[in-house]
Amino acid sequence: MSYIPILPIDSGRYGTDEVKRIFSEEARLKYMLMVESAVAKAEGILKIIPEDAAIEISSKCNTNYVSYSMWKEIEKVTRHETASLVEAIVSVVSDKAKPWVHYGLTSNDVLDTAQSLQLKDYFEIIEEKLKDMIKILGSLAEKYASLPSVGRTHGQHASIISFGHKFAVWANDLLDHINRLNEIKSRVLVCKTLGVVGTGSILGKKALDVMKLVGVELNLHPVKAATQVVSRESYAEFVWWCALVSSTLDKIATEFRNLSRTEISEFEEEFSKDQIGSSAVPSKRNPITCEKVSSLSKLMRSMPFVALENVALWHERDLTNSANERFIIPISAIILDEMVESIRRILSKMVIREDNIKANIELTRGLVYSEFVLDALIRKGFSRSEAHKILRELSNKSRIEGKEFKEILLTDNIVSKFLSKEEVDQIFKPENHLEGSKEIVKRTLERIAKEIG
């Protein structure tokens, strides 16, 4: 019977091949063999095992000698993936080397260290993709820095904001995520070669020296202390990081979804010539990629709950973490990769409707400028509460009478005495209120150049 994909990751719907390859079973074998090789080499250097045996074991711990099919055939009998790997290696080395395969190790020395190698390769890929996205966001922030738009709070028009300001905020958020990633690497990318309960008992006084050499060989950080397993706090931190980044991507997608509403229409996803938006409504153009990002983020935010459950294991370890980690770690990585690719694609091919952005500023008949009128009255000597009360009343009058707020101000007996028509005209020019946003964009571009080049 042929294999039938069940999960959308397996069917090719989500995730890139370069990331999915890292978490494949074939790659898992490669990483586990790298660990066995590095340990044998270190033990040979330190004369814990015979040097010729170490050289032979190290040279044969690769898929040219230990194939995926060989490993899995043995596992059918042993029902233990690491023991099966050890048997496979033993079967390809000389009799003199056989006793020294996997010497001083326990299963999770290999499994946890191999997982660190997977995550190390993943971090390199996802970090570069995030950096590329940040650069795109920086370019968009610069492009739209001088484009006034409506800033909305509680879904209501609040004040004027540079449209580029949005992209600057997101770029800074993602720069912070890269900094978080670099900060957790020393805790997540660790190697452990300390045996059954984490004491290095078989290797004795040289146990920590072995782990140090393995760390150098594999470019990993020797774990500071462990039981039979690496403390699961580090994996919880990785999964949490994935969830946090995904939430920022959801924030971007949610903003775009709102801006694509028919009544706002400031943004539109790329829509190809033969793409279908709705099976029932031929005219529909739905923000489906943004909605996919938001949907996947909901799944991602559930992953840390499971990862945190894995922190408390019995004594020096049990297996209650093992099965679910085969899901939450690769799936978190692959889903985040899919979300990053999706947002990068949206940013590169989206449509920004500048005419609608400018037109939407006028929807409230000028009420969006009330913040600036308040400031002008305060500068003329009004107390904040006094000016606020006057403008609340005049704002309500504008709404009730359906008149322009500017007209209401110029005909009001109190306001017109303190603010001239020229002063009011300047207040009602949206481009006059972008200096703060422009400076934020400028500083964002400087930060991008400094931190990621």
329 with 304: CB under 8 angstroms?
Answer: no
| pTM confidence score | 0.94
320 and 214 housed in the same domain:
yes
Active site residue 265: no
Quick one: pLDDT at residue 12? Answer: 85
Instruction: Give the residue from 43, 68, 100 where a domain finishes.
Output: 100
Same domain, 96 and 150: no
Cα gap 245→401, rounded to integer Å: 47
Whether 201 is catalytic is no
Maximum separation of any 2 CA atoms in the chain, in Å: 103
Low-confidence ranges of the chain (pLDDT < 70): 1-3, 271-285
Does residue 408 lie in a domain region?
A: yes
DSSP string, 110-158: HHHHHHHHHHHHHHHHHHHHHHHHHHHHHHHHHHTTT-EEEEEETTEEE
Distance separating alpha carbons of residues 16 and 9, to the nearest angstrom: 9
In a domain, 441, yes or no: no
In this structure, the number of other CB atoms found within 10 A of the CB of residue 79 comes to 8
Hey, what are 38's tokens? 């590095």
Are 80 and 136 part of one and the same domain? no
What would the pLDDT profile of 267-319 be if each residue is shown by its tens digit? 998 865 555 555 555 555 688 999 999 999 999 999 999 999 999 999 999 99
Statement to judge: residues 23 and 131 lie in one domain: no
Shared domain check, 119 and 92: no
Retrieve residue 387's tokens. 């000016």
Residue 447 lies in a domain: no
Q: Which of 219, 149, 160 is nearest to 190 (CA)?
A: 219
What's the confidence (pLDDT) of residue 1? 46
Give the 3-state secondary structure of residue 351: strand
Q: What is the pLDDT of residue 392?
A: 96
CATH of the domain at 412: 1.10.40.30
pLDDT of residue 41: 98
- For residue 238, tell me if it sits in a domain: yes
> Does 6 map to a domain?
no
Task: Report CA 182 to chain centroid distance, whole Å.
Answer: 13
pLDDT of residue 377: 97
Residues 305 and 392 in one domain: no
Same domain (yes/no): 239, 279: yes
The mean predicted confidence, pLDDT, of the chain is: 95
303 & 377 share domain: no
Q: Tabulate helix, strand, coil % of the chain (nearest 5).
A: 65, 5, 30
360, 395, 416 — which closes off a domain?
360
Pairing outcome for strands 190-191 and 221-222: parallel
Catalytic residue from among 91, 186, 201, 278: 278
Strand pairing partners for 151?
159
Structural domain of 35: 17-100
Distance CA 92, CA 73 (A): 15
Claim to verify: residue 73 and residue 169 sit in the same structural domain = no
Q: Is residue 420 part of a domain?
A: yes
Residues in Cβ contact with 355 at an 8 Å cutoff, skipping those fewer than 6 apart: none
| Same domain, yes or no: 48 and 152 | no
Task: Give pLDDT tens digits for 73-99.
Answer: 999 999 999 999 999 999 999 999 999
23 plus 117 within the same structural domain: no
Q: What is the pLDDT of residue 27?
A: 97
φ/ψ region of 15 (left if φ > 0, alpha if ψ in -120 to 50, else beta) reads left
Structural contact between residues 160 and 167, judged by C-beta atoms closer than 8 angstroms = no
For the chain, the domain total comes to 3
CA atoms within 13 Å, Cβ hemisphere of 115: 22
Residues 254 and 151 in one domain: yes
Residue 452 lies in a domain: no
In a domain, 158, yes or no: yes
Structure tokens at 439: 């400076």
Q: Which of 2, 69, 154, 385 is catalytic?
A: 154
Write down which residue in 304, 339, 360 finishes a domain: 360
| CATH number for the domain that contains residue 290 | 1.20.200.10
CATH of the domain at 43: 1.10.275.10
**Residues 98, 103, 105, 106, Cα dihedral to 10°:** 40
